[in-house]
Structure 1
Amino acid sequence: MPEGHTLHRLARLHQRRFEGGPVAVSSPQGRFATEAARLDGVTLCEAQAYGKHLLHHYENGLTVHVHLGLYGTFVEHPLPVEEPVGQVRMRIVGADHVTDLRGPTACRILLAPEVAALQARLGPDPLRPDADPTAAWTRVSRSRASIAALLLDQSVLAGAGNVYRAEVLFRHGVPPMLPGSRLGRETWDAIWADLVLLMGEGVRSGRIDTVRPEHDPSVTGREPRRDRHGGEVYVYRRAGMPCLVCGETVLMRDLQGRKLYWCPACQAG
């Protein structure tokens, strides 16, 4: 599932390509046809992301809410418009670009109160300037759940996914099963600041890099990571391999249906 930086990249892209002018909206697949008819020819005012949610705000007061889920994807094309390939849920045509949405978990129209309700259900997003890390800390500090589980709870913190969860805990030496109520405020502030930094870099580069300069392949001489997710990481998807810092074997376990990775030595607590 795409993590928050991907949605913020999409919001910036769609803002540049479609904001401020009328767009043609359709649903070649047909599942969004009624909603698309209410947007066709209307000006797209703003595209923004909140956590893993993408919001397209239109001049007529309607908002398209997209959650990509596991299989959703946007495909961008230059004009001229060509016949859609595959099951395109929503197509947006602007002055010089076409965007096709396929396979999302959610693609629906929301009114302003529904947008507000959606945002109210989400925790603060480290990539948004209006985010309040104290709101997340309040939830974390009162919870007996593990910090690993809390970092993936979108009502606690919006946007972080499995990669950022594993990597930020490693970078701060935090045992993933530590209860949130036992995490110190200073450590939480450091984790939050690191997420702002790492996810912000992810928006700029389009990949997740979490390895510090001294552990980069260009410095250590190791082989670069080869993975469809890209980026250099410490523990994510490195179960059974030696830790890049201490050499201990990286571990993996299932936690609430997601794979959790950590180094038992560097994250001993």
Structure 2
Amino acid sequence: MPEGHTLHRLARLHKRRYAGAPVEVSSPQGRFAAEASRLDGQVLVGAEAHGKHLFHDYGPHGIVHIHLGLIGIFGEGKLPAPPPVGQVRMRLVGRTQWTDLRGPNTCELLDPAQADAIKARLGPDPLRRDAKPDKTWARISKSKVSIAALLMDQAVLAGVGNVYRAEVLFRHGVAPLTPGRALDRALWDDMWADLVTLMRDGVRVGRIDTVRPEHLPEAMGRAARVDRHGGEVYVYRRAGEPCLVCGTPVETSSLVGRNLYWCPTCQPA
């Protein structure tokens, strides 16, 4: 599932390409056809992301709420747009570009109150300027639940997925199963600030990089990571491989249906 930086990149891209002008909206698949007909030819006012959710704002005509889920994806290109192929839930056509949405978990037309209700259920997003990290700390500091589970709870913290979860815990030496209430405030403040920096970098470059300069391939004389997620990481999907800092094999287990990755030496229980 795409993490928050991907949705913020998409919001910026769609705002730059389509906002401020009428947009052709259609649903070749048909599942969004009635809603698309109401939006077709209307002006896209703006686009924004909150966590893993994307919102296209058409002003008085409503807000399209998109959650990509596990298989959702956007495709795009320059005009003229080719005939749609496969299950295209929503197609946007602007002045010079087209964009197709396929396989989302959610694609729905909402009124502002409904969109606000979704945002209200989400925790603070490190990539939003209106984020309130104190709200997340209030939940973490009182919880017996592991910090690994809390970081993935979108009602506690929006936008963090399995990669950022594993990496921020490693970078701060926190064992994944540490109860939230066992963290101190200074540590959480450092983790939040680190997430802000890492995720902003992710928006800028389009991949997740979490490795410090001294541990990059060119600094260590090692091979670069090859993975469909791209970027250099410390522990994510490196089970059994030596830790880049201490050499201990990276461990893995499952928590709430998702894989955990950590170094038992750098992140002692």
Q: TM-score range by the shorter chain?
A: over 0.9
Which residue number corresponds to residue 137 of structure 2?
Answer: 137
The CA deviation string for residues 156-211 of structure 1, in whole angstroms up to 9 with x for no partner, is: 00000000000000000001100001111001000000000000000000000000
Which residue number corresponds to residue 264 of structure 2?
Answer: 264
Which residue number corresponds to residue 113 of structure 2?
Answer: 113
Aligned to 2:45, what secondary structure does the other structure show?
strand
Please give the alpha-carbon distance, in whole angstroms, between the structure 1 residues aligned to 2:91 and 2:81.
10
The CA deviation string for residues 226-262 of structure 1, in whole angstroms up to 9 with x for no partner, is: 0011000000000011100000110000000000000
Which residue number corresponds to residue 54 of structure 2?
Answer: 54
Aligned to 1:116, what secondary structure does the other structure show?
helix
Shift in Å at residue 64 of structure 1?
0.2
Which residue number corresponds to residue 21 of structure 1?
Answer: 21
Q: Does 1:190 align with 2:190?
A: yes
Conserved 8 A contact 1:127-1:199: yes
Which residue number corresponds to residue 86 of structure 2?
Answer: 86
Please give the alpha-carbon distance, in whole angstroms, between the structure 2 residues aligned to 1:139 and 1:61.
36
Conserved 8 A contact 1:42-1:59: no
Please give the alpha-carbon distance, in whole angstroms, between the structure 1 residues aligned to 2:15 and 2:116.
20
Q: What code does the residue aligned with 1:21 have?
A: A
Please give the alpha-carbon distance, in whole angstroms, between the structure 2 residues aligned to 1:114 and 1:190.
34
Q: Give unpaired runs (5+ residues) of structure 1.
A: none
Please give the alpha-carbon distance, in whole angstroms, between the structure 2 residues aligned to 1:192 and 1:86.
41
Aligned to 1:44, what secondary structure does the other structure show?
coil
Runs of at least 4 residues off by over 3 Å: none
Shift in Å at residue 61 of structure 1?
4.0
TM-score with structure 2 length normalisation? 0.99
Please give the alpha-carbon distance, in whole angstroms, between the structure 2 residues aligned to 1:116 and 1:28.
28
RMSD (Å), alpha carbons: 0.6
Conserved 8 A contact 1:42-1:60: no
Please give the alpha-carbon distance, in whole angstroms, between the structure 1 residues aligned to 2:201 and 2:100.
26
Conserved 8 A contact 1:61-1:112: no
How many residue pairs align between the two structures?
Answer: 269
Sequence identity percentage? 66
Aligned pairs for 1:1-269 (under 5 A) are 1-268=1-268
Aligned to 1:54, what secondary structure does the other structure show?
strand
Conserved 8 A contact 2:136-2:156: yes
Please give the alpha-carbon distance, in whole angstroms, between the structure 2 residues aligned to 1:129 and 1:59.
22
Q: Give unpaired runs (5+ residues) of structure 2.
A: none
Please give the alpha-carbon distance, in whole angstroms, between the structure 1 residues aligned to 2:116 and 2:31.
25
Shift in Å at residue 77 of structure 1?
1.2
Aligned to 1:101, what secondary structure does the other structure show?
strand
Please give the alpha-carbon distance, in whole angstroms, between the structure 2 residues aligned to 1:8 and 1:25.
21
